[in-house]
């Protein structure tokens, strides 16, 4: 009885917050210009909005080794569409190979809404919200012993410190189906290497950091083949569980359907 009530409350809370995001359509303005910006290969999401009328596909081929079990994602996909100068729609899915079973999974539907540009100490910032589809599993946590998540809402910010050095960071909430919530954090300094590539280091995890919560570090490289195509490589490991790690290769591209 109480678990059903919690689940309804969690869903209603998330959907209400998701709908409120559209209010920002009346006051914000910005859009990605020049070459594309992506949310991969790091976990820290970018504040940039995909150009209006463009589809952008970000695919990763991952090997995860968690709790002595190997999982392969062949691939993970984030598909984004630029609806306006300040809004993009988002859909994510994955093809998971685990224990000799191959499964396709719809992960999430969502949107990103631009809030404000960088000005002084104020960072460029957008707000992302996802509604998780189906039985999307998350890590077991102290607040969520049944690892299923209703959705998340995350502010994504970026400071451009110099011409070649920037820092991105995310802070938000994950909503569980038992009515409880957990904080999300991600922090990723990035350094441009020449005109077409960059490197990053990152840490990410969730609060509270108790028995089941985890903390990760990772890093990677990305290279632009042109303004509309980028390839990347990355790897990371758990700080608390040293045997847990992942390795990933990725490709991202965009194309205009409004010509």
CA distances from 148 to 110, 130, 179, 195, 196 (A): 17, 14, 11, 42, 39
Q: What is the pLDDT of residue 2?
A: 42
> Dmax of the chain from CA atoms?
59
What phi and psi, each to the nearest 5 degrees, are found at residue 83?
-80, -40
Rg over CA atoms, the chain: 18
Q: Domain range spanning residue 185?
A: 2-256
Residue 79: partners with Cβ closer than 8 Å, 6 or more residues away: 55, 56, 57, 58, 90, 91, 92, 93
Q: What is the pLDDT of residue 228?
A: 97
Query: Would you say the C-alpha torsion 128, 224, 94, 189 has a positive or negative sign?
Result: negative
Q: What is the pLDDT of residue 145?
A: 56
- The domain that contains 145 carries what CATH number? 2.40.160.40
The total number of structural domains in the chain stands at 1
Residue with tokens 């719809």: 106
In the structure encoding, which two tokens stand for residue 203, read together? 């840490």
Along the chain (259 residues), what's the average pLDDT of each consecutive run of 10 residues? 50 52 42 82 96 96 84 92 96 88 90 96 96 67 61 96 96 84 93 96 82 82 97 94 90 91
pTM of the predicted protein model = 0.83
């Amino acid at each position: 009885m109480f678990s059903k009530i919690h689940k309804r409350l969690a869903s209603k809370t998330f959907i209400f917050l998701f709908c409120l995001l559209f209010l920002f359509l009346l006051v914000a303005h910005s859009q990605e210009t020049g070459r594309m910006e992506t949310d991969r290969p790091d976990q820290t999401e970018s504040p940039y909005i995909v150009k209006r009328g463009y589809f952008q596909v970000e695919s990763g081929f991952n090997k995860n080794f968690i709790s002595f079990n190997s999982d392969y994602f062949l691939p993970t996909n984030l598909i984004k569409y630029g609806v306006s100068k300040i809004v993009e729609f988002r859909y994510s899915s994955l093809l998971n190979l685990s224990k000799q079973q191959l499964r396709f999974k719809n992960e999430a539907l969502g949107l990103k809404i631009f809030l404000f540009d960088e000005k002084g100490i104020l960072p460029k910032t957008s707000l992302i919200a996802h509604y998780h589809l189906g039985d999307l599993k998350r890590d077991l946590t102290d607040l969520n012993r049944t690892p299923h998540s209703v959705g998340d809402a995350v502010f994504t910010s970026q400071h451009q410190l110099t011409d070649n050095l920037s820092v991105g960071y995310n802070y938000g909430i994950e909503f569980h189906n038992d009515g409880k919530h957990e904080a999300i954090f991600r922090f990723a300094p990035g350094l441009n290497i020449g005109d077409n590539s960059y490197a990053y280091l990152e840490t990410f995890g969730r609060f509270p950091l108790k028995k089941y919560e985890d903390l990760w570090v990772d890093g990677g490289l990305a290279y632009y083949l042109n303004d509309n195509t980028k390839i990347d490589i990355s790897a990371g490991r758990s700080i608390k569980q040293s045997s847990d790690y992942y390795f990933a290769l990725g490709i991202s591209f965009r194309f205009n359907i409004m010509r």
